Amino acid sequence: MAQEWERNRESDRKRYGAAAPGGAPGGGTPGGGCLAAPVRWAVLILVVPVRAAWDVLVAAAKALGAGLLWLARWLVAAPAVWLYRQVLAPLGRGVVWLLRAAGAAVAWLWRWVVVAPVVFVWRWLVVAPVSWLYSYVLTPLGHGLLWLLRGLVVAPAAALHRYVLRPAGAAVTWVCRTAVGLVAAGARATGAGGRWLAYTLVVAPVSWTYRRVLTPVGHGAVWTLRQTGRGIAAAARGTAAGAMWLWRRAVVAPAVWVYGHVLAPLGRGVVWLLRAAGAGLAWLWRWIVVAPVVFVWRWLVVAPVSLLWSYVLKPLGLGLRWLVRGLFTVVGWVLRTLFLPFVLLWRHVLAPAWAAAGRFTRWVWNTTARPAGRAVRDGWRAARDAVAAARATARRTRMELRTALFGASRQPAPEALPYAPDPLPRPLRVDVPAPAVDLVKHAPPRAGRHR
């Protein structure tokens, strides 16, 4: 026991530093031994009831959990299992059997009403004639055309290419290569001599002439031409001003008079004549070309087509539509007859049962599970707060008990202190009353609806 107290005192010293709770931070001045009996009575009065209350709360929580589990088992799980085994499973098997029967009937109708006629028509009215035509007409015709093409075109062309064109092409290629080689050798020799002669007889004299003669002459000619151009430009500007005046007085003014008094009236007369001629041509086009064409189109094309549509195609289309509508009506009646029991079962049995089960489940949840859960949460919070307050009180009481029985721990040397000592040590006061024990650390939160 003494070793345990020493270990506790050492742990408190490491946790709180040199100043132990309730004792002096300085030397090891022991507390009075007269405080042992009051502290023991305080522990007996505070800690033991809290521990007993905690055990009672744990037992009550276990009993409440067992009760809720029993209620959930016999009020929710057992009815749900019975409903599934006795109602939903047989109903589902019946629905599956009916759906399979309906699917088999629809498949039989589809096979013998739609697929079989289409396959018969495709096989004996399309595939058989096309296969006979391909086997007995197109295949022999293709083989004969291929034989004729091979005998009359391919074989002569291959013989001509092999025995005439290929040897002739090889000979021509050899002759061309030889001639090109000779010409290239002569061109190379001639090009070397020509380059030397051209440089000696043409390039050198021309370059000397360009540098010594043509360049100075060109500069002088440019200066002369520039000055001449300036004079010509001045003369041209004067000439242009005179020509513009003459153009305005001699051409523009008479042209305006001629346009206003001669050309405009003449143009209006020509336009009137053209309009009259256009009206006459339009009348002729309408009654000589368009009217006969419209008459032929209306009475020789549109009238027969309209008669064909009114008395042949339209009745045929109406008959086909009546046939298709009757077929869909029969199929819809069959499907309605097959699925009407399922619709009535869902509307008058399953939907009301599902709604009643939902209302019963919500009523059980709102009246039993939710209040029970709220009570469990409130009890758990109160118990948790009480346990936290009891733990804090027991810890403080234990520290005060150790301090009262064994005194504060001796302060070690400054170099061995794990923490810095308090700069303002407080003296030990024996007459200070013990701190009040508060079992309720804080008020529990207000119970409410938690999501």
| Half-sphere exposure (Cβ direction) of 22: Cα atoms closer than 13 Å | 26
Report the C-alpha gap between 25 and 417 in whole angstroms: 12
Q: Give the residue among 42, 44, 23, 12 at the shortest CA–CA distance from 405.
A: 23
Is 380 a residue whose pLDDT tops 70?
A: yes
Per-residue pLDDT band at 442 (split at 50, 70, 90): very low
The percent of residues in the chain predicted with pLDDT above 70, rounded, is: 81
| Mean confidence (pLDDT) of the chain | 78
CA angle at residue 374 from 371 to 375, to 5 degrees?
Answer: 85
* 421 CB burial (10 A radius; 0-12, 13-18, 19+): middle
Q: What is the pLDDT of residue 412?
A: 47
Residue 17, by phi and psi: left (phi above 0), alpha (psi -120 to 50) or beta?
A: left
Q: What is the pLDDT of residue 418?
A: 43
Report the C-alpha gap between 203 and 196 in whole angstroms: 10
Per-residue pLDDT band at 408 (split at 50, 70, 90): low
Place of tokens 């399922």: 342
Per-residue pLDDT band at 34 (split at 50, 70, 90): low
Is 449 a residue whose pLDDT tops 50?
A: no
